[in-house]
Amino acid sequence: MMTLNRKEFLRLGAAAAVVTTASAILPAKVAAKVKPPQAYLIRNASILTMNANKEELYETDILIRDGRIVAIAKNITAGSAEIIPGDGKIIMPGMIDGHRHVWETILAARLVKSSKNYRDYLRYNNMAMGVVYTPEDLYFAQLIGGLSAIDNGVTSIVDHAHVIHSPEKGDAAAKGLKDSGIGGFFCYQTGHTPSYGAGDTISTAQASHEIYKEPDEWHLAHAAVIRDKYFSSSTDPLQFGVALGHIEFAPRTVESIRQEIVLGRRLGARLMTQHVAGRAGDEGMALPHEYRVITDLAKADLLGPDYHISHGNDLTDAELGYLRDSGGHIASSVMGEFPYASPSVHGRAMKAGVPVGIGIDVPLALTWDFFEHCRAALWGLHKGATNAAIVRTLESADILSFATSLGAKAIRMDDQIGSVEVGKRADLLMLRTDRFGFPPSGSLADRVLNFAYQHDIDATWIAGKQVKRDGKMIGVNWPVMKAQMEERQRRIFRDADSIRFTG
């Protein structure tokens, strides 16, 4: 079984050049003396805790040590900790993106939601652009995708990696995301081995069948290789998950998906994610119209606390009940759901007691600023009579919870992240509030939800490691990365355009 070796990754000169360590950018004698502090004391900040009581604290200190929040109080003694002035700043939990296809990041603006061409998303994105990615493209895409998510306030992500067409690509995808330093889950999709490539002709029906067919033998074996190689530690911020096949859109049986779910559980995947819209039947494939994913999986006793779906707009109340009773979770895109006939599931999921988060879903098509997606969650709750009744009972902190405390619960990490509390992992954002457009009055939640943007993020910590300072990502050269992204785009778009689909 083939994997990307060290020599192959060293050929990624661009990627190696853009994410630099202190030893690479400082003189050798200086670099040898530079060690990241093990403790930080954020002094005199305003704290949007997002804890169970949604408390807001003022002129308060936070002590971070060994990756954890160890104290929250006034006038904490610094000891050996590096002091970070928090005057005029807001500390909040790092945000959580519960559903994203990270590999699409370097394709930004090729297909956008505001274009009529977006109706060809599956054909051009999954059947063409993803197919012509090289392993080097995929490593770079995952790396830059993770880094850009961090830069936009996301510290944990559920990456639905539906681009693993070969062992080399699987290795590159896992390594790229892990090297970015982001937390969450890398969810290995156990299917899709294209029989074609650049310059080939294939029927649309055949290409679609290859996406949706049952997992290949090599996928099932390679998933364990990736787990052991990159995700052997249960304490690392980024963990191993499984992305299940698109059973709703394909001629799959419950028994065939049972095999995938059993495999995921045998692999020890803490999270298994699956695309489920909730519409009965299929979209031009071969499923009977009475077929329901959640209902059928519930009847087969396959749901559980490790089962996580994306989208879910058309889930029935009974199906939300099945998810609640089995401990299941949802992360639905918000901007991405706007064009669909049914409103996003967030309001009904909250009412049913199902943990629900938000996600960008398609970074090639939508803004990466996660504060914009938080606001979109609010506007989405005004769509439909049921949601409209629910939103009238909510406050700003409730909306922010989709990206923080509730979002953490929706990916089974609420014991670690999602709120600013003693004992939690130190995944934190520090926001500046000194620009004119950031109002000085109002609750912290009101101000953040309605007025914060990516450029307000002054500092970021993931597991106690500071990865952003003074508004800049540490050791990341964005101009060089953008130039490399543009170069890869040109070749990927050219090769994708060379594939001819018939029928």
**How many H helices and E strands in the chain?**
20, 19
Residue showing tokens 């922010």: 400
**Which among 398, 393, 498, 385 has a CA at the least distance from the CA of 445?**
398
Q: What is the pLDDT of residues 371-426, one digit of tens each?
A: 999 999 999 999 888 888 899 999 999 999 999 999 999 999 999 999 999 999 99
Helix (H) or strand (E) holding 346: helix 346-352
Q: What is the pLDDT of residues 63-118, one digit of tens each?
A: 999 999 999 999 999 899 999 999 999 999 999 999 999 999 999 999 888 888 88
Note the helical H segments in 199-299: 204-212, 217-230, 254-266, 293-299
Q: What is the pLDDT of residues 290-310, one digit of tens each?
A: 567 899 899 999 999 999 999
**Which among 394, 298, 393, 384 has a CA at the least distance from the CA of 338?**
384
CA distances from 254 to 218, 250, 291, 362, 477 (A): 21, 11, 10, 28, 47
How crowded is residue 440: how many other Cβ atoms within 10 Å of its Cβ?
9
Cα separation, 327 vs 197, in Å, equals 41
CA 180 to chain centre: 13
**Average pLDDT for residues 244-270, to the nearest whole number?**
84
Cα separation, 145 vs 147, in Å, equals 6
pLDDT for 10 beyond 50: no
**Which among 154, 99, 143, 155 has a CA at the least distance from the CA of 362?**
99
pLDDT for 166 beyond 50: yes
CA distances from 106 to 10, 149, 176, 179, 238 (A): 20, 12, 13, 16, 21
pLDDT for 17 beyond 50: no
Burial 276-285 (b: 16+ CB within 10 A, else e): bbbbeebeeb
Token pair listed for 379: 């506007």
pLDDT for the residue numbered 11: 39
Cα separation, 410 vs 98, in Å, equals 8
pLDDT for 14 beyond 50: no
Token pair listed for 166: 């070969």
**Which among 6, 320, 308, 354 has a CA at the least distance from the CA of 187?**
308
Q: What is the pLDDT of residues 138-163, one digit of tens each?
A: 999 999 999 999 999 999 999 999 99
pLDDT for the residue numbered 13: 38
Contacts of 331 (CB under 8 A, 6+ apart): 97, 98, 99, 158, 273, 308, 309, 310, 356, 357, 358, 359, 407, 410, 411
**Exposed/middle/buried for residue 60 (C-beta within 10 Å: 0-12, 13-18, 19+):** buried
Cα separation, 185 vs 272, in Å, equals 10
Query: Percentage of the chain with pLDDT > 90?
Result: 76
Contacts of 209 (CB under 8 A, 6+ apart): none
Q: Specify the domain boundaries for CATH 2.30.40.10 within the chain.
A: 39-93+421-470
CATH class, range 39-93+421-470: mainly beta
CATH class, range 95-411: alpha beta
Helix (H, G, I), strand (E, B) or coil at 243: strand
Cα separation, 467 vs 462, in Å, equals 7
Tell me the average pLDDT of the chain. 89
Please provide the size of the chain in residues: 503
Contacts of 311 (CB under 8 A, 6+ apart): 99, 275, 276, 277, 278, 332, 333, 337, 345
Contacts of 435 (CB under 8 A, 6+ apart): 456
Q: Are 133 and 172 in contact (CB under 8 A)?
A: no
How is residue 443 annotated by DSSP? Answer: -
pLDDT for the residue numbered 249: 67
pLDDT for the residue numbered 120: 87
pLDDT for the residue numbered 116: 85
pLDDT for the residue numbered 279: 72
Radius of gyration of the chain (CA): 22
End-to-end CA distance of the chain: 35
Cα separation, 186 vs 159, in Å, equals 5
pLDDT for the residue numbered 15: 37
**Average pLDDT for residues 27-56, to the nearest whole number?**
76
pLDDT for the residue numbered 215: 84
In the chain, % helix, strand, coil (3-state, to 5) comes to: 40, 20, 40
Q: Output phi, psi for 173, to 5 deg.
A: -65, -45
Cα separation, 482 vs 503, in Å, equals 37
